[in-house]
Amino acid sequence: MQSTTLADLRQLKKEKRKFATITAYDASFARLFAEQGINVMLIGDSLGMTVQGFDSTLPVTMEDIVYHTRCVRTGAPDSFLIADMPFMSYATPEQACENAAKLMRAGANMVKIEGGSWLCDTVKMLTERAVPVCIHLGLMPQSVNILGGYKVQGRDESSANQLITDSIALKDAGMQILLLECIPSELARQITEELTTIPVIGIGAGNSTDAQILVMHDALGITARPPKFAKDFLKETGNIRDAVRLYIEQVESGAYPDQEHSFK
Ligand code: KIV
């Protein structure tokens, strides 16, 4: 099987073909997701909540993400893996380079960092040193204490404009994928159209983005209090493989997320 590359994802955007991605933390699920046809996985710091049982992503360490990236790479040798850089692991561009190298050595193809234009120097430095960067904007879980909770972002004109400005500045700095979490669908559509060559992955950002991601525990109905945008695909299908295939089908056709699982 051929490995999935960033060029493949850019080509999908060019051809306006949507793709499904999901979080993965271990080899068994990574293998299952890849076998069903998910070629892009995120080793998310959501593992602090889903795997470790904390109430935020803040306690997650570099060692945790390195360990889970190795596990996922073992199960999905050909998938495109994005590894999250945990809280405070990229406070300066130099620190980001040192820590990103650990994730790339563990098997990641790309790192993900949360934040706006203040990250431009970091993105430039990482990209110039051969580390592709995915930026996470909108609801940034590592900033929960600044944001005052897990709330929809970009609802007023000035914060919406800020998200557009940040996206463009980060694209100019070298960002290769943008992930938008919990923002109004119309704003996500505008940003996705503005970034003509950068694949945009959405979660709680409507169905106009180029791709969708779900935390695997949300997609399989394991989360006790799932967010509004999450859909339990296991409930509809009764077994995990069919649930994953249904998720892929509904993302590719644009059926998921519908209005009920999006924000106006
Ligand atoms: O850590 C994570 O799983 C994420 C998703 C919410 C996209 O960043």
Out of 50, 60, 136, 178, mutate this one to test ligand 1's pocket (max ligand atoms within 8 Å of CB): namely 136
Whole-angstrom Cα distance, residue 41 to residue 39? 7
Residue 55 is assigned to a structural domain of this protein? yes
pTM tops 0.85: yes
* Ligand 1, pocket residues at CB < 6 Å: 23, 42, 44-46, 84, 136, 179, 181, 203, 213, 215
Q: Is 98 a known ligand-binding residue?
A: no
Atom index in ligand 1 nearest the CA of residue 203 equals 7
Residue 211 identity (one-letter amino acid): A
Q: Phi-psi category of 181—alpha, beta or left, where left has phi over 0 and alpha has psi -120 to 50?
A: beta
Per-residue pLDDT of the chain in tens (264 residues, 90 and over written 9): 789 999 999 999 999 999 999 999 999 999 999 999 999 999 999 999 999 999 999 999 999 999 999 999 999 999 999 999 999 999 999 999 999 999 999 999 999 999 999 999 999 999 999 999 999 999 999 999 999 999 999 999 999 999 999 999 999 999 999 999 999 999 999 999 999 999 999 999 999 999 999 999 999 999 999 999 999 999 999 999 999 999 999 999 999 999 999 998
- Of all atoms in ligand 1, which is nearest to the CA of residue 213? 7
Give the count of domains, the chain.
1
What atom of ligand 1 comes closest to residue 23's alpha carbon?
3
State which ligand 1 atom lies nearest to the alpha carbon of 112: 8
Neighbour tally for 60: CB within 10 Å: 25
Q: Could you give the C-alpha distances from 147 to 75, 142, 169, 254, in angstroms and in order?
A: 36, 9, 22, 30
| Atom 1 of ligand 1, nearest CA residue | 44
218 among the known binding-site residues?
Answer: no
Q: Whose CA is nearest to atom 3 of ligand 1?
A: 44
* Cβ–Cβ under 8 Å, residues 206 and 186: yes
* Range of the structural domain that residue 112 is part of: 6-261
Q: Is 178 inside a domain boundary? A: yes
Q: Please give the distance, rounded to the nearest whole angstrom, from the Cα atom of residue 2 to the centre of ligand 1.
A: 26
Its sign, for the CA torsion 73, 115, 56, 63, is: positive
**CATH code where residue 108 lies:** 3.20.20.60
* Contacts with 215 (C-beta within 8 Å, 6 or more apart), sequence order: 22, 23, 44, 46, 50, 203, 223, 230
Centre of ligand 1 from the C-alpha of residue 125, in Å:
23
- 165 in a structural domain: yes
CA 160 to chain centre: 20
Helices 27-36 and 62-75 sit at what angle, rounded to 10 degrees?
50
Helix/strand/coil for 43: strand
What's the gap in Å between 93 CA and the centre of ligand 1?
Answer: 22
Which of 63, 94, 181, 260 is an active site residue?
Answer: 181
d(CA 177, CA 211): 10
181 catalytic per annotation = yes
Residue 1 lies in a domain: no
- Closest C-alpha residue for ligand 1 atom 8: 44
